[in-house]
Amino acid sequence: MTQPLIRPRGTGLSAATTRTGPPPVERPAPLREAVYDALVEMIITAELQPGQHLVENDLAAHLGVSRQPVREALQRMQTEGWVDLRPALGAFVHVPTEDEADQLLAARTLLETESARLAAEHATPAQVEHLWELHRAGEAALAADDQEGLVAANASLHSHIVAMSGNKVLADLIGSVDRRVRWYYLPIARARGKDAWDEHAALITAIANGDGVRTGNLMRGTPNAPGRRITNGVGRRPRKPPDLLGRPATRLVGQRGC
């Protein structure tokens, strides 16, 4: 869960003072941004499940904030497709459809295919070794039956390949859909199991060999590519939504909700 970075205030030095020490302090992220990040992460990890009713008071108490930043976050989440706001009923976690998953993942596959090809052309030994480290983390999570660890390792591996491409535009475009891909991938992470990580191993090998064509072809067949593989788990409502008030509150800032 993303938490705002709180830094001490400045010491009152004038703007004309020559700076020879640390850089200027950064302002903390707005509380509404921190609440938004927290709620999106709770949806991705299924702490808030598809179809679940989101009560502002409950969410505010759980996060240790007032209702206002929660309300602002929910409005933004509606525009981005994370929640549905229903008149007279309130907010509900969006239930993804198979068509949505197909469209999203088809677009991401096109972007990742090109980024993988570029990564193979520019890969350094250190970068390839880091890919193998992420691969070992994924296999360890698989052995431990750690579903969230599998999703995190999968996301980290794909993100590193994108970074290796050296194309910032591609990275920004892929980053804009990455969270939603994690959401769709979670239900089938365990089911994909060893097959997914065998495919990842072949992908890393192709990158290490500098084979851009084979890398691109393999990326089209990895677990995040075909929508039909991901959508097996989407569109299902929870039998019993989790009770937020039955869990310890996770405060975002200090001891005061604001």
Q: Which domains does the chain possess?
A: 31-95+238-246 (1.10.10.10), 98-233 (1.20.120.530)
Residue-level pLDDT at 37: 93
Is residue 28's pLDDT more than 50? yes
Pairing of strands 90-93, 53-54: antiparallel
Structure tokens at 161: 């390949």
Residue type, 26: E
Mean of pLDDT over the chain: 78
Is residue 155's pLDDT more than 80? yes
Structure tokens at 73: 């976050």
How does residue 149 score in pLDDT terms, banded at 50, 70 and 90? Answer: confident
> What burial class does residue 245 get, using C-beta atoms within 10 Å of its C-beta: 0-12 exposed, 13-18 middle, 19+ buried?
exposed
Please tell me the pTM assigned to this model: 0.62
CB 101 within 8 A of CB 184: yes
pLDDT above 90 covers what percent of the chain? 45
Task: Determine the Cα–Cα distance for residues 194 and 139; give it in Å rounded to an integer.
Answer: 8
pLDDT in tens, 171-200: 888 887 888 877 876 666 556 677 888 889
pLDDT in tens, 127-144: 999 999 999 999 999 899
Residue-level pLDDT at 185: 67
pLDDT above 70 covers what percent of the chain? 71
Task: Determine the Cα–Cα distance for residues 36 and 69; give it in Å rounded to an integer.
Answer: 8
Using the CB atoms, write b or e for 183-202: b if 16+ within 10 Å: bbbbbbbbebeeebbebbee
Residue-level pLDDT at 196: 81
pLDDT in tens, 60-86: 999 999 999 999 999 999 999 999 999
Is residue 205's pLDDT more than 80? yes
Task: Determine the Cα–Cα distance for residues 208 and 123; give it in Å rounded to an integer.
Answer: 7
pLDDT in tens, 220-258: 875 444 333 444 444 444 444 444 444 444 545 443 333
Which is higher by pLDDT, 38 or 185? 38
Is residue 109's pLDDT more than 90? no
Q: What's the N-to-C CA distance of the chain in angstroms?
A: 18
CA distances from 130 to 113, 135, 136, 201, 220 (A): 20, 9, 10, 13, 22
